[in-house]
């Protein structure tokens, strides 16, 4: 596979993981940017990064860079994605790719116009397990999919000043962890949901602390999601059909799926799929991104992100919750 020059914006914990993945798959990292010179120098030394930039725009405009990776708070994604696409760079952006559907539609159209690859960092879309799960469903092994259930609960430290609870930085459970649950649900629904029923509990800063969300599409399939930032839940997804159901634990980086077949109301049999390595989740992302660039298309990943962005937008509209900058 061709070696690409990646430039990284942001040096937080997920950027540290991505840097390791880039070094493992691509063999090197061309550049990274952080306005804090001390943090930038430390990150570059730890990860063997060749070039340092104090200004992300300078890195984006470096003609030697092929791909921009964005790992900043959500509120900066839209700006940097547009800059990178207009500079002719492919973009891999951490979730949530944008804070609302209008921003997403704009960058999606720009990527198409520029003939560039734009991808959102949902690990679950790149884990080898899901190819086999989708094939099993396509083969009709669990019958017609009727219901998807998915949870994501994270116990964040109580700190109203942390970005997770900062409304100015688009904090809250929906954009921080809700994208994973929504991407899982949408992956196993035949159509985009058209009906949404939801309720929310707010944190003291005004962001969503936890919520329950029910989605239904025109095929009468339903998805039920539970999200929380102050109560730990298992990361568990279940796809239920007329002939059985599939349970996937730790679904963002899943390597195992348990299948229960229910041919009738009285008997059941079980099976298991085991494939992939959760420690290589980000390596799978990097490899797929570079494959998309080589092939000139993204295998439908941005289309799925489009649906996720619009579902999240519709949920917030139902709540009547807006961020101060919107």
* 95 belongs to the catalytic site: yes
Catalytic residue among 95, 156, 235, 280: 95
Picking from 213, 173, 172, the residue whose alpha carbon sits closest to that of residue 193 is 213
At residue 231's C-alpha, the angle toward residues 120 and 92, to 5°, is 10
CB count in 10 Å sphere of residue 246: 23
Task: Give the per-residue SS3 of the chain.
Answer: CCCCCEEEECCCHHHHHHHHHHHHHCCCCCEEECCCHHHHHHHHHHHCCCEEECCHHHHHCCCCCCEEEECCCHHHHHHHHHHHHHCCCEEEECCCCCCCHHHHHHHHHHHHHHCCCEEECCHHHCCHHHHHHHHHHHCCCCCCEEEEEEEEEEECCCCCCCHHHCHHHCCCHHHHCHHHHHHHHHHCCCCCCCEEEEEEEECCCCCEEEEEEEEECCCCCEEEEEEECEEEECCEEEEEECCEEEEEECHHHCCEEEEEECCCCCCCEEEEEECCCHHHHHHHHHHHHHHHHHHCCCCCHHHHHHHHHHHHHHHHHHHCCCCCCC
Which is it for the CA torsion 76, 82, 87, 93, positive or negative?
Answer: positive
Q: Which residue numbers are catalytic?
A: 95
């Amino acid at each position: 596979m061709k070696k690409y020059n990646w430039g990284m914006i942001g040096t937080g914990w997920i950027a540290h993981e991505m840097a390791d993945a880039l070094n493992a798959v691509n063999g090197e990292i061309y550049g990274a940017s952080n306005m804090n010179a001390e943090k930038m120098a430390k990150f570059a030394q730890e990860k063997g990064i060749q070039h340092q930039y104090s200004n992300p725009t300078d890195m984006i405009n470096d003609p030697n860079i092929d791909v921009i990776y964005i790992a900043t708070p959500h509120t900066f994604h839209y700006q940097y994605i547009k800059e990178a696409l207009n500079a002719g760079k492919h973009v891999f952006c951490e979730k949530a790719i944008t804070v609302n559907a209008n921003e997403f539609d704009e960058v999606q159209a720009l990527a198409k116009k520029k003939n560039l690859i734009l991808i959102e960092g949902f690990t679950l879309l790149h884990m080898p397990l899901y190819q086999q799960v989708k094939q099993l469903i396509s083969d009709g092994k669990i019958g017609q999919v009727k219901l998807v259930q998915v949870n994501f609960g994270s116990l964040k430290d109580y700190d109203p000043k942390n970005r997770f609870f900062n409304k100015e930085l688009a904090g809250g459970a929906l954009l921080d962890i809700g994208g994973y649950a929504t991407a899982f649900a949408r992956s196993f629904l035949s159509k985009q949901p058209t009906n949404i029923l939801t309720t929310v509990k707010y944190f003291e800063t005004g962001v969503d602390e936890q919520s329950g969300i029910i989605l239904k599409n025109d095929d009468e399939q339903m998805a039920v999601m539970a999200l929380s930032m102050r109560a730990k839940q298992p990361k568990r997804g279940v796809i239920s059909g007329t002939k059985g159901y599939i349970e996937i634990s730790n679904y963002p980086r899943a390597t195992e799926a348990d299948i229960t077949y229910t041919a009738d109301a009285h008997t059941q049999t079980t099976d298991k799929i085991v494939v992939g390595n959760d420690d290589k989740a980000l390596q799978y992302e990097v490899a797929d991104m570079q494959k998309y660039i080589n092939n000139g298309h993204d295998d439908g990943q941005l289309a799925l992100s489009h649906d996720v962005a619009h579902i999240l937008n519709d949920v917030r509209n139902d709540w009547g919750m807006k961020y101060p900058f919107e």
